[in-house]
Amino acid sequence: MTTRAPSTWPLFSLLGCLALASPALAQGPDEPYRYPDDEEEPSRTGRAPPEDKPYAYPDDEDRPESSRPRRRSARDSEYKDPDDFRRAERGEEEEKDFERMARLDDPNTGIAFEVLGGVMLLSSPRGQLLGDPQPAFGGRFTWEYGRLLNSEPLREALWLDARYGFVGQRDGTALVVGDVQRHYVSLAPAYELTFGEGSDYGVYAQVGGGIVYELSRLEVGGKLTPVEGIKPLIQYGVGLRGRTRLSATSNLRLTWRLELMRFRRGYQDDTSASLSAGIGF
């Protein structure tokens, strides 16, 4: 029996694989692949490009630096129009006609109804210094027309009164009795000075005019003789006015006044000291 020698080609193949694998094992750790553009940029400038540099468009490169658009800063972002802010900062802001919002942001209508009562000192034919005191009562309608002028100082300073008052007087003896009734109707604008900006209280002066209707009845021995007539009237005086808020969620207010008025009818003067109260909207 003859013994055959084993083949040597597998051995040479294994040795060849080991020889080729040794250079690959000696290679360093993996590195990111560098593209040609990345390799050329540092070599030109000698340093890495800035990270946040904006891309320069061709139009921007041709224009000078002063004409290029500026980037908005954090300070400019606080204003609706940064250009207006920068012009105002340089003192170049021009005068503009801004729309006044006095009428739009005011919830009050400026209307009030009041009842009044007090004492009327009637001019006396007997020459008394203060006149004949008689009880008087009436009512008035107030309209703050200054709110239509769209002016903040005059919004609550100007208002108008339509007033009615009644005074009755009866005097005489058992044989002769005189009964007089007077109806005062007047329309008077007023100007008010409030106690500070936004105050609901103030003092006012008022001047106006109207008529007084007078009905006199003279009774002598049971026989009645009526006499009536109308005279022009001038009203003027001063007072204290308040508009106390009744609710924080509505425009309802308690309006009140303490006033001293003078009524000129013909050649006679009647003086009224009265207090009024009512509701305003």
The per-residue pLDDT for 124 is 77
What number is the average pLDDT over the span 1-19?
59
Domains of the chain: 111-168+184-207+236-280 (2.40.160)
The per-residue pLDDT for 16 is 63
More confident residue, 94 or 122: 122
Tell me the torsion sign for CA atoms 251, 254, 259, 264: positive
pTM: 0.62
Lowest mean pLDDT across 11-25, 149-163, 198-212: 11-25
Dig out the tokens for 260 from the structure: 């001293």
What number is the average pLDDT over the span 241-268?
92
DSSP string of 110-179?
Answer: -EEEEEEEEEEEEPPTT--SS-EEEEEEEEEEEE-GGGGGT-TTTTTTEEEEEEEEEEEEEEE-SSEEEE
Residue 158, classified by CB atoms within 10 Å of its CB into exposed (0-12), middle (13-18) or buried (19+), is buried
The band of 152, judged by pLDDT with boundaries at 50, 70 and 90, is: confident
Q: Are 181 and 202 contacting, i.e. CB atoms less than 8 angstroms apart?
A: no
Q: Are 236 and 269 contacting, i.e. CB atoms less than 8 angstroms apart?
A: no
Q: Which of 208, 215, 255 is nearest to 232 (CA)?
A: 208
User: How far apart are alpha carbons 169 and 186 in whole angstroms?
Assistant: 21
Q: What is the pLDDT of residues 165-197, one digit of tens each?
A: 999 988 888 788 889 999 999 999 999 999 988
The per-residue pLDDT for 67 is 54
The per-residue pLDDT for 185 is 98
User: How far apart are alpha carbons 120 and 135 in whole angstroms?
Assistant: 6
* Residue 200 DSSP one-character state: S
Dig out the tokens for 206 from the structure: 């008022």
Question: Which ranges of the chain would DSSP assign to H, the alpha helix?
Answer: 9-25, 36-45, 58-62, 82-89
The per-residue pLDDT for 123 is 87
Q: Which of 91, 143, 139, 95 is nearest to 114 (CA)?
A: 139
User: Which phi and psi (to 5°) does residue 177 adopt?
Assistant: -130, 135
Q: Which of helix, strand or coil describes residue 217?
A: strand
User: How far apart are alpha carbons 194 and 218 in whole angstroms?
Assistant: 48
What number is the average pLDDT over the span 35-49?
54
